Structure 1
Amino acid sequence: MNKLCEFVIRYKKGVIITFLIFAVFGAFFASIVSINYNMTDYLPEKTNSTTAIKIMENEFKDEIPNAKVMITNVTIIEALKYKEKIASIDGVKSVNWIDDVIGIDTLTTTPVEFLDESILKNYYRDNNALFTITIERGKEKSTVNSIYELIGKDNAAAGNAVNTALSQKMSYSEVIKAFEILLPIILIILILYTTSYIEPLLFLISIGIAIIINMGTNVFLGEISFLTQSISPILQLAVSLDYSIFLLHSFNEYKEEFDAEEAMKLAMKKSITSIAASAATTIIGFFALMFMRFGIGKDLGLNLIKGILLSFISSVIFLPSITLTCYKLINRTRHREMIHKFKGIGKNLLKINTAVLIIAVIVSVPSYLAKSNVEFVYGNGSAAKASRTMKDAVHIEKIFGKENILVLLVPRGHTDRELKLCYKLSDIPHIDSVISYVTAVGAQIPAEYLPKELVENFYSNNYARIFLYTDLPEEGIETFKTVQTVLNTAAEYYNTYYLAGESASLYDIKNVVSKDTKLVNLIAVIGILIVLLLTFKSIVSPLLLLFTIESAIWINLSFAYFYGKTFNFIGYLVISTVQLGATVDYAILMTERYLTCRKELESKYAMEKTIDDNLIAILVSGAILSTAGFILALTSSNPIVSELGNLLGRGTLLSFIMVACVLPALLIHFDTAIQRTTLYRIFNVYYRKK
């Protein structure tokens, strides 16, 4: 540690230059990192829907459509011309319409009223043509813009690819917007808390450089998810800003007796342990995400772990260097202390501690039960309500109804069995029509006598493709029940079968993450419990701390149940780990200071002093993290990110309340048990008896 301190102080200018160089490279590499907006890409490779998608990509010329375009007031011939123009747009891999089902000759020579109504209604109604389109991944934004230019404002485009294009357009700008709002608020909070106008800027520069470097290192991962891009920088800032505050707080205490360099050495030695412990609890919470089978957990968890480690390194190496370099400027910009310690608040809080503790215990039980019964959603989130995307989706649904396509793949070569399966599938509720070779062309007509393009729409060398048109939403109880029914029906006729489509993928996500949820929470709790046991060398106090934060999490998550709302499973997983890992630091700080004071004072007076001296520090940290959450919710148009922001903001406030009001009561009421179960006390009693 001494060598690190001496190195930082001796080579402070070199350290600053090195970090700045890394930041420049980080900013460049961050700009070229690919962003993945498709949640289904993070499913395990061997899930049914993932296998179906791979088969479609390898054996069929057309993949599953991910967009719809509706052209109004057109004839069949005009619609075919539009199809050609859409197909020619860069990024459009395929365009499917009724001519791909019944053949273009039949379509152009047969009057509309004589066409099969069960097939026609999915493609052409009241002079409105509906095309299903496959847009190449990664090109959604440019391709959708070109489609808009072609179809104009009177026609409509909707679907996952269109939603993705909107997200691509808004995600980067929304992150910038969030920082534009968040940074001034954090600066104001820090200026009120510190005694210099420059110190808050140094805090933000230190963590800001760590964020830039972290985002740049993602270039080695190849790509990151849109969720990681949206929330990781803000979470890293809000969670790790405390590290800088801890260091400079110690520095300001020592510089009253020592010169600047000696004061920094002492501050680094004193604070690095507490900073490391704080970082460790946060990292464990994020590390739990790495155990998810659903890849989004690894993507987000790894990014946040890197971010916390880089923030830690920046706080103990870069921040001391730039602080000493700017020391004279810091002194010239001193101001009086604007927020004083809350003298007397400890005595007032302890007057109500027993009542608050009873209320907390009573509320925690139904909250735990409620959060366990919240319904999740598993999709990527819909488009912003005020956007053209949402309006177009409503327009299409108004004319063609709700349409959700599933694609069933079964082995080729059994036309009789395929026909029986199609008849059985058509009897399933919510399936409007079943389109396959045997239903659209006929089981008796050999494929050799038909155009190759028509046959390839239904058959590959190994598989037959059956399209199921449903009136179901993308997800929900009824949707998942139907998906399971389709799979069960296919199992009656074939040993091998695969189901693709947005609902099929979401069904697999649901099954995967239902197990991930329990595992992630268990690992996070056990990991942090171990850290607490090592920190306090006590059996009782870690359990009290965990109850304090976990009950705040239960109450936070129970809001959705009591308000009759659902929330995205990602919000549940992330907040369960982030709120635990980030806000348990408040409980650790409160408990450590209490145990220190307890050596000299009775429990009641020790707690009064602890609250008076430390509540303001916890309040500042909580205010920053909570503000970050609410601003994330305010600035994001993506429902997943917005929902997560609300959970983070509300959860931090609840954790602060529990630490300020409930934890003191627990520590006082269990004071005797804590003293008796502390490791050194147990050893002393044991050897005394011997």
Structure 2
Amino acid sequence: MNTKEKNKKLHDTRPKKRHSGLIELIVKNGRRIEKLFALAVIISAFCACFVHVNYDLSEYLPDWAPAKKGLNVMEEEFGYPGTARVMVGPVTLYEAKAYKDRIADIDGVDMVMWADTTTDVYKANIFINYDDIQDYYKDNYAVMDIIFKEGDSSSLTKSAIGQMQKMTGDKGYFMGSAVQNKSLNETLTREISIAMAMGVVMIALVLCATTTSWFEPFLFLMIMGIAIIINMGTNLMIGTISFITFSVAAILQLAVAMDYSVFLLDSFTKEREKGDDPVTAITNALHKSIPSILASGATTIIGFLVLMLMRFSIGYDLGFVLAKGIVISLATVLFLMPSLLLRWGDRIKKTEHRSFMPSFHGLGILVHKVRYGVLTAIALLVIPAFIAQNMNSFTFGNGALGSSPGTRVYNDEQQINSRFGKSNLILAVVPNTNMVTEKNLTDTLKDLDYVRSATSLAGTLPEGIPETIIPKSITSLLHTKDYSRIMIYVKSSDESDFAFQCSDEITAIVNQYYPEGAYITGVIPSTQNIRSIITEDYNFVNILSILGVGLVVMVTFRSLIIPVIVLIPIEVAVFINFAIPYFTGEDILYLGYIIVSCLQLGATVDYSILMTNNYMDIKKKYPEKARAIKHTISKSALSILTSGTILTIVGYGLYFISSVSAIAGLGHLIGRGAFISVIMVLFLLPVLLTLADPVLMWEDGKRQKIIASHLAVIEKKKAFKANRIEKKKSLLEAEQSKAGNAEGGQRTKTDDKKQEQEEVKNNEK
């Protein structure tokens, strides 16, 4: 079976005893390791139930961001309420009032703002000016703004929305962040389960076609399943993960980390074919596999770790979980899989079948034949693609959580917006110092053309009525000891140039009345902050990921030119992947732009590394470049296509299954990016390798000389050490011999003296 063999020859030059102690520990303690992993899976499955999912992107703003400061103050003083917009119809004005009162009585609802706050709807029709209330009632439809007692994700809020939906029945239409959270909570788990099941089935089919045993796909999926469960359970250490992490982490871990188990099994199979017993075979397989598996994992981990350095901390959330998943996958493959191979090695052998894949020799001939055409086409495309990828229409905030067309949440939103226009809440939190100033500010805000309503306690209380006579349970909604809250509904979407212009103007007006201590927050200001922070994060993250992966490749190959060669096809693939939305007019989530850039680089650069390493090995056997590159493509194509197909299937699975725009868009970018990377590696990299061949061979020769010199130095040191030991041994023997002679001479003198004494005694007698 063909699979990733990158850096094998290079690492074989290292002493094989390097990992002997660890490998011996793994092989000898297989049963204990199995029990430890079984225990870890049980505990992790239990812990995974307590990991919470967050759907609010503003939660990941740094504490120094203006909108986050406002959120923190508001949450401390008033709580962080969830919001929704409800339309009821067709109803009469009086029926609408009845619905409003019933909704206000639902447990979990804090405030309902409707036409009756400014107009007496019980007056006779001739006395009601319907033009004054058309923002709340027209064409027999009424729309209400709901503020809940608790946050969007609260179970009390979800229960309140459920009761409202039941109460209004077919006449109810719902939108807003709380409604989106409830919908996401109900659909994401189901959709991700479907995507995961479909991914497993498709990956199993791919593995059955590309392996030579029916049991191998089961083993691979079992190993990855164990690693995924442990990764999900250990997320409890951070308590809460983002909805993006929850949606993509498991399925990406399955797709990206599959190669490690494939490589170890391939090495084990080759060792068994030599006639070794299973224990010896797995020991030798580990010796040969560990360096290459760790090098492959390092490039992917680097791509994810860089995300953790983003100031917009959802990058930390996703990067940590994905990097942790790769580390756990590596540990599962290197520690658990050897024991399972020893346990089930015979099953693999009994279920062997012939290979279903071609030799790919024809592909090598084709690639070599069109090499200059490919190089010319890429040279013409790369600059326009680079420019276009930076000119996309991006989304940044919670608007990305919106459901796709065809879902009830999407249809309800379109119905409400088409009748009453768009509406979004901006919150001003100002010092509670002067009721007159607060009322003047409220009146100024109400006069703005794009403001539907501005609600404050000072603006609501009738003139001359003191706050002290109002129950505290009512005033606490808008006043605390230190702060006042003003709720401003603006006629705009949550993310647009017009919305940001409105937010900036409102901020300027509030600062005129309250030069110090005022905060502006809400969805629109938060989205503004996300945009400014995340766009600055991109350049930093992108450059750092390229440098990190390049450093891993440089250390692995001990080369300066190879990192450049292997990165060019992947970066070109990234440019093309993100240029396509510009030409098709698609909006993409900027966060997805960053995530997929790092993921595509870290996960698919392995394809370039594999082909480059195979070329370096084959070139020693076939010095002619044309022949070497054809053999290289033939040898590498199956592994690259297998890995790339798995990642493509996973990405497009998310794209077609998820009804959440952000997740579907992310899946589309991942699937298309993996496919383009495969094409670039198979068609662009070979011509780059042949063009750079003189430099590669010069570096390889120099590297071999350095290795030979290094080995010679080691041999000299060994010889010198052995010589010293021999000399010491000789000196020790000489000293021992001298000491023995001296002792013998001493004994002779003693014997002579005794003999003389005996003679004297005899003479005396």
With normalisation by structure 1, the TM-score equals 0.92
Residue 237 of structure 1: aligned partner? 254
Alignment match of 1:370 (pick from 371, 375, 388): 388
Partner Cα separation in structure 1 for residue 701 and residue 464 of structure 2:
82
Residue 547 of structure 1: aligned partner? 568
Stretch deviating more after TM superposition (602-611 or 228-237): 602-611
Question: Shift in Å at residue 207 of structure 1?
Answer: 0.9
In the alignment, is the contact (CA less than 8 A) between 2:371 and 2:684 conserved in 1? yes
Partner Cα separation in structure 1 for residue 341 and residue 281 of structure 2:
11
Is residue 2:118 matched to residue 1:97? no
Alignment match of 1:149 (pick from 166, 171, 175): 166
Stretch deviating more after TM superposition (608-617 or 277-286): 608-617
Residue 733 of structure 2: aligned partner? none
Alignment match of 1:284 (pick from 279, 282, 302): 302
SS at match of 1:383: coil
Q: Kindly report which structure 2 residues correspond to 1:112-511, keeping only aligned pairs within 5 A, or say none.
A: 120-125=133-138, 126=140, 128=142, 130-134=144-148, 136=151, 137-139=153-155, 140-257=157-274, 258-378=276-396, 379=398, 380-415=400-435, 417-418=437-438, 421-422=441-442, 425-426=445-446, 430-437=450-457, 439-441=459-461, 446-448=466-468, 455-495=475-515, 496-511=517-532
Partner Cα separation in structure 2 for residue 112 and residue 679 of structure 1:
95
In the alignment, is the contact (CA less than 8 A) between 1:203 and 1:319 conserved in 2? no
Residue 650 of structure 2: aligned partner? 628
Distance 1:88 1:17, change over 3 A: farther
SS at match of 2:554: helix
Is residue 2:86 matched to residue 1:66? no
Letter in structure 2 aligned against 1:96: V
Question: Shift in Å at residue 438 of structure 1?
Answer: 5.1
Any idea what the Cα deviations from partners look like across 1:9-35, whole Å, max 9, x if unmatched? 333233223222211221121122111
SS at match of 1:500: strand
Residue 626 of structure 2: aligned partner? 604
Question: Shift in Å at residue 603 of structure 1?
Answer: 2.7
Q: Kindly report which structure 2 residues correspond to 1:533-612, keeping only aligned pairs within 5 A, or say none.
A: 533-600=554-621, 601-612=623-634
- Aligned pair count reads 681
Stretch deviating more after TM superposition (547-556 or 6-15): 6-15
Stretch deviating more after TM superposition (487-496 or 236-245): 487-496
Letter in structure 2 aligned against 1:301: G
Partner Cα separation in structure 2 for residue 443 and residue 548 of structure 1:
71
Question: Shift in Å at residue 490 of structure 1?
Answer: 2.7
Q: Kindly report which structure 2 residues correspond to 1:610-649, keeping only aligned pairs within 5 A, or say none.
A: 610-649=632-671
SS at match of 2:207: helix
Question: Shift in Å at residue 665 of structure 1?
Answer: 0.7
Distance 1:65 1:187, change over 3 A: closer
In the alignment, is the contact (CA less than 8 A) between 1:33 and 1:222 conserved in 2? yes
Residue 43 of structure 2: aligned partner? 25
In the alignment, is the contact (CA less than 8 A) between 2:374 and 2:683 conserved in 1? yes
Question: Shift in Å at residue 319 of structure 1?
Answer: 1.3
Partner Cα separation in structure 2 for residue 448 and residue 626 of structure 1:
65
Partner Cα separation in structure 1 for residue 299 and residue 502 of structure 2:
43
Stretch deviating more after TM superposition (598-607 or 577-586): 598-607
SS at match of 2:425: strand
Q: Which has the larger radius of gyration?
A: 2
SS at match of 2:64: coil
In the alignment, is the contact (CA less than 8 A) between 2:87 and 2:141 conserved in 1? no
Any stretches of 5+ residues in structure 1 without a counterpart? Answer: none
Distance 1:388 1:347, change over 3 A: closer
Letter in structure 2 aligned against 1:569: Y
Letter in structure 2 aligned against 1:274: S
Letter in structure 2 aligned against 1:159: G
Any idea what the Cα deviations from partners look like across 1:461-487, whole Å, max 9, x if unmatched? 233333322221110222122222222
Stretch deviating more after TM superposition (515-524 or 581-590): 515-524
Question: Shift in Å at residue 364 of structure 1?
Answer: 0.9
Partner Cα separation in structure 1 for residue 20 and residue 502 of structure 2:
66
In the alignment, is the contact (CA less than 8 A) between 2:361 and 2:630 conserved in 1? no
Partner Cα separation in structure 2 for residue 119 and residue 354 of structure 1:
71
Partner Cα separation in structure 2 for residue 282 and residue 579 of structure 1:
9
Question: Shift in Å at residue 120 of structure 1?
Answer: 4.1
Question: Shift in Å at residue 677 of structure 1?
Answer: 5.0
Question: Shift in Å at residue 459 of structure 1?
Answer: 3.3
Partner Cα separation in structure 2 for residue 393 and residue 651 of structure 1:
32
Any stretches of 5+ residues in structure 2 without a counterpart? Answer: 1-18, 710-765
Question: Shift in Å at residue 428 of structure 1?
Answer: 5.0
Fraction of identical pairs, as percent: 34
In the alignment, is the contact (CA less than 8 A) between 1:97 and 1:123 conserved in 2? no
In the alignment, is the contact (CA less than 8 A) between 1:74 and 1:129 conserved in 2? no
Any idea what the Cα deviations from partners look like across 1:59-93, whole Å, max 9, x if unmatched? 33x75551122333556775565445434545x24
Partner Cα separation in structure 1 for residue 463 and residue 132 of structure 2:
17
SS at match of 1:132: strand
In the alignment, is the contact (CA less than 8 A) between 1:100 and 1:454 conserved in 2? no
Any idea what the Cα deviations from partners look like across 1:247-290, whole Å, max 9, x if unmatched? 11111111111222211111111111111011000000000110
Residue 540 of structure 2: aligned partner? 519
Distance 1:158 1:37, change over 3 A: same
Partner Cα separation in structure 1 for residue 355 and residue 626 of structure 2:
28
Question: Shift in Å at residue 215 of structure 1?
Answer: 0.2
Distance 1:101 1:63, change over 3 A: farther
Stretch deviating more after TM superposition (136-145 or 522-531): 136-145
Question: Shift in Å at residue 434 of structure 1?
Answer: 3.6
Question: Shift in Å at residue 202 of structure 1?
Answer: 0.4
Question: Shift in Å at residue 636 of structure 1?
Answer: 0.9
Question: Shift in Å at residue 612 of structure 1?
Answer: 1.2
Partner Cα separation in structure 1 for residue 121 and residue 392 of structure 2:
52
Any idea what the Cα deviations from partners look like across 1:485-506, whole Å, max 9, x if unmatched? 2223333333232112211211
Partner Cα separation in structure 1 for residue 204 and residue 100 of structure 2:
55
Residue 531 of structure 1: aligned partner? 552
In the alignment, is the contact (CA less than 8 A) between 1:587 and 1:659 conserved in 2? yes
SS at match of 2:387: helix
Distance 1:620 1:684, change over 3 A: closer
Stretch deviating more after TM superposition (667-676 or 34-43): 667-676
SS at match of 1:335: coil
Distance 1:240 1:65, change over 3 A: closer
SS at match of 1:255: helix
Letter in structure 2 aligned against 1:514: T
SS at match of 1:32: coil
Letter in structure 1 aligned against 2:295: A
SS at match of 2:171: coil
Partner Cα separation in structure 2 for residue 521 and residue 420 of structure 1:
48
Distance 1:138 1:603, change over 3 A: farther
Question: Shift in Å at residue 519 of structure 1?
Answer: 1.5
Partner Cα separation in structure 1 for residue 561 and residue 103 of structure 2:
67
Any idea what the Cα deviations from partners look like across 1:216-251, whole Å, max 9, x if unmatched? 111221111111111000000000000011111111
